[in-house]
Structure 1
Amino acid sequence: MRLVFLLLSTSFLTGLFSCNSSVDSALVSLKTSTYEYTGEGRCDTTKHRGVSVSARYVQLVGESSATRSINDSLRAMVAWGILGWVDSAAVAQMPTARTDLNAGARLFSASYRQMGEEGRMFGGCWELEIVADTAFTSPTILTVRQETYVYSGGAHPNTQATFQSFSRRTGHALQLTEVISDTTALRGLVERAFRKQQDIKPGQNLEDAGYFLHEGQFFLPGTFGVGREGLIFLYNPYEIAAYAVGPIQVTVPYSELKKILRNDVL
């Protein structure tokens, strides 16, 4: 069962960039880059073995240092989207895979072959598909959401999403502590939004409700993004709940973040 991604044309992406901005961003354009693994061990649909690796991601058009920095980071995000399903020891032996999509795909293919040699193969092709699109843009911020679908044997495929926000002035990838001054206070705000979305009463124990906590404490997810209405927080499958629950995405409105938001960044 495949995850259906929305594949956007370059012209539509350019329009999306403009529509998502709070002011006119017509002078900013995007292009779509694609990658497909065609090397040794690629999926043979007749024999049902091998691997399929593909990616579709956005790149900014321009030659400024900030644009180059953002584009390098976006390519690296795709590379790590592949390497997240490869043994870290193998990555350490091929450091070029951190930026070279083809090298990463070869490592993914090598993992497939190794599983087969060890007799742990369930049959069928392994598949890894990545799609990255803009989630929000403004004159100062670009946020990209990257989704990864992977099937590497087992009972079901896995999906994972990642947000990354960038300063359009510098090309710097923003960390949470650069956007928020008090992450402890933020955690309370995210938990409140989480409970409201999941229909969990304020006093109800989250673990009793089937959610995973860190030493009994609610925690912030591994990925966040700057959005139009507020900060977006995404819990991927298995991060705070069982696979069947799926991803959980909550938004904390800027109106609730006034006291802890670093306005100089946004």
Structure 2
Amino acid sequence: MKKFLFVLLASLMLFACEEEKKEALVFTNYNVEKAYEKCNPEKGNCTFVNLNYPVAKGKENVAKKINDSIEAHIIQLVSGFNPDDKPETMEEMVDGFIANYASYREDFPDSDIPWEATVFAEITEENPKLLSIDFNAYTFTGGAHGYGSNTYMNFNPETGKVYTHKDLFTSEFKDFVEKDFRKKEDIPQDKNINSTGMFFENDEFHLPVNIGFRDDKLILTYNPYEIAAYAEGQKTYEYNMEEISEYLKIDFSLTE
């Protein structure tokens, strides 16, 4: 009887482990490419869309939340420049981008300046309490220049929920970053934050929209136009986790 119970217990444990493996959150890269009139981007003078991003599998409900958030973010990155476009799916967004260029060519047949939309998204930090994804995007639809940006999304891999700044950091974190920001940008601590030419709204410092994690570092990114003129480019600040650990609400060092 004891032997039978031991075998039964071992079987149940093995089954539980196998079920846990089935429910593990795993990622594969997915690529979407489409070009105007099947041109070849590598040969130049070609309008195209190229998207590369991670897709979650396992933990069905969690994976769906993460995938839906990633897709919605990429759609916004590519089509957000045009308020008339409101695609609901990745396919609609890609087809719409190419169709808009085709319409542009009909209106201006003498112009052959190609458009471009690229997004490369990669997982930059992954542990049981954090999934951080960096979206490196570039769009060009005519004009003086295109627009490049890095945006981050931070997920709770247990629920699929997107972390907000309030979820991640204490209220003191903003003061810490502002002091360091002023030092690095040569802005006196007792002067207006915009005294040297920054564009902070209401003359008040704010954290960047995009904060992510990479290689055990915290990355803060202000994209072009966010706080300064386009010519200033992207402004990025990095902190070792030890530097900012006291301002974190979640201990991301915990692993299973």
- Do these two structures clear the TM 0.5 threshold for a shared fold by scoring above it? yes
| Distance 1:248-1:42 versus aligned 2 partners, 3 A rule | farther
The answer to whether the 8 A contact 1:193-1:250 is kept is: no
The answer to whether the 8 A contact 2:139-2:148 is kept is: yes
Aligned counterpart, 2:197 = 210
Greater shift after overlay, 246-255 or 213-222?
Answer: 246-255
Letter aligned with residue 48 of structure 2: S
Aligned counterpart, 1:90 = 85
Aligned counterpart, 2:116 = 127
The answer to whether the 8 A contact 2:187-2:195 is kept is: no
The answer to whether the 8 A contact 1:161-1:236 is kept is: yes
The normalised TM-score by structure 1 is 0.72
* Aligned partner of residue 168 in structure 1, secondary structure: coil
Aligned counterpart, 2:49 = 53
| Residue 75 (str. 1) matches residue 71 (str. 2) | yes
Structure 1 residue 245: Cα displacement? 1.8
Mapping of 1:37-186 within 5 angstroms?
37-38=34-35, 43=39, 51-85=47-81, 87-91=82-86, 97-98=87-88, 100-116=89-105, 119=108, 123-182=112-171, 185-186=172-173
Find the partner of 2:226 among 220, 239, 248.
239
The normalised TM-score by structure 2 is 0.74
- Percentage of identical aligned residues: 26
Aligned counterpart, 1:94 = none
Gaps of 5+ in 1: 1-26, 92-96
Letter aligned with residue 143 of structure 2: G
**Cα distance in structure 1, aligned partners of 2:156 and 2:250:** 13
Structure 1 residue 29: Cα displacement? 4.3
* Aligned partner of residue 177 in structure 1, secondary structure: helix
**Cα distance in structure 1, aligned partners of 2:154 and 2:71:** 14
Aligned counterpart, 1:20 = none
Q: How many residues align?
A: 230
Structure 1 residue 37: Cα displacement? 1.6
Aligned counterpart, 1:33 = 30
Letter aligned with residue 30 of structure 1: F
With CA pairs under 8 Å and 6+ residues apart, which has the higher RCO, 1 or 2?
Answer: 1
* Coordinate RMSD, CA, aligned: 3.3
The answer to whether the 8 A contact 1:57-1:132 is kept is: yes
Aligned counterpart, 2:11 = none
**Cα distance in structure 2, aligned partners of 1:121 and 1:169:** 53
| Distance 1:258-1:44 versus aligned 2 partners, 3 A rule | closer
**Cα distance in structure 1, aligned partners of 2:115 and 2:250:** 45
1:10-42 deviation digits (Å, cap 9, x = unpaired): xxxxxxxxxxxxxxxxx864321100125x656
* Aligned partner of residue 172 in structure 1, secondary structure: coil
**Cα distance in structure 1, aligned partners of 2:40 and 2:121:** 26
Question: Between Structure 1 and Structure 2, whose CA radius of gyration is higher?
Answer: 2
* Aligned partner of residue 93 in structure 2, secondary structure: helix
The answer to whether the 8 A contact 1:193-1:252 is kept is: no
